[in-house]
Amino acid sequence: MFGQRFNLAVTFAGLMLGMMSCAGHYNIDGVVDMFGYEGRELSLIEFLPNRTTKYDSCLVNHGRFQMKGKVDSVRFVFLCKDNRPIIPVYIEKGHANIRLLPSEMTVSGTRQNDLFYSFLKQKIEIDNRFEDMSQKRMSMSRSVMDSRRMELIQDSLRMIVEECEEMICSFMARNYKEPAAVGVFMMLSSGPSTEVSPLLRRILDAAPDAFLKQSYVSGYTRRMGYVR
C-alpha cells in the first residue's frame, strides 16, 4: 500500500538530502508481520545518481530485525528487501523503530523519522478523504444527476485540496531547516512535470536561502528554471 501510494522506488531513487552533522550511534529495532519476510535479508541502502551504498543489513528472525552502528551525519536511505525499496528511513543518532505491518509501514523514534512520517500520516488521511469523496462523485455521475449534491461534492473536493496544501505549506514553514523537509519536497516534486506547480512555487518562494541551496532543491530549481 505504501509502495503503491508513493511509488517510492521511482520517487526517491538517485536523490540525496543535504545532510547535517549528527555524530553518534544509531539503533534500529524492527517488527515484521507480513508474508515473505521471515529469514530474508533487509538492508539500508542509499541511492545516489552514480552509485548505491549499503549501510547495514540483517536477517528477519521470528518477525524481528535489528541494525546498529555509527553515524556521523543524517542519511536518507531506504529499507530494502532484495535491493528493492520498501520504505524510506533516516539513519540518524538515536533509537528508531520500524513497523512493517499490513495496516502500517512506519519509522519512528528519531527526530527526522518522526517528522517525515507524521507528515505522511496527515497526507494519507487527507488523501483518503479526497478519494472517498471522488468515489461519491463518480457514483453520482453514473446515476440520476442531482446538480445541487454534485455542487456540494465539488465544493468538498476543493476544500480538501486547499486543506492539504495548507497542511503542506505549514509543515514546510515549521521545518525548512530540517532534512525531513527536503524529503517531503522530493516526494512532492517527483512527478514528470516540466514546470513548477503553484504549490511548489509557493513552497520555494517562502523558503530560506539555506533550503534553496540543498543539493536536491537547487538541482530541481535549475532544471525547472525557477527564479524567485
Q: Residue 30: is its pLDDT beyond 80?
A: yes
Q: Residue 5: is its pLDDT beyond 80?
A: no
Q: Residue 144: is its pLDDT beyond 70?
A: no
Q: How confident is the model at residue 83 (pLDDT cuts 50, 70, 90)?
A: confident
Q: How confident is the model at residue 145 (pLDDT cuts 50, 70, 90)?
A: low
CA triple 124-126-132, angle to 5 deg = 100
Q: How confident is the model at residue 147 (pLDDT cuts 50, 70, 90)?
A: confident
For the chain, which residues make up each domain, given as ranges?
Answer: 2-109, 116-224
Q: Residue 23: is its pLDDT beyond 70?
A: no
Closest CA to 26 of 82, 92, 85, 120: 92
Q: Residue 9: is its pLDDT beyond 70?
A: no
Cβ–Cβ under 8 Å, residues 83 and 92: no
pLDDT top residue among 13 and 112: 112
Say if domain 2-109 classifies as CATH 1.10.10: no
Q: Cα 117 from chain centroid?
A: 7
Reduce the DSSP state of residue 62 to 3 states and report it: coil
Q: How confident is the model at residue 108 (pLDDT cuts 50, 70, 90)?
A: very high
Q: Residue 37: is its pLDDT beyond 80?
A: yes
Share of the chain above pLDDT 70, in %: 88
Q: Which amino acid is at 82?
A: D
Q: Residue 6: is its pLDDT beyond 60?
A: no
Residue with cell 540518524: 92
Mean pLDDT of 143-164: 87
Mean pLDDT of 8-20: 43
Integer Cα distance of 60 and 73 in angstroms: 26
Q: Residue 32: is its pLDDT beyond 50?
A: yes
Q: Which amino acid is at 175?
A: N
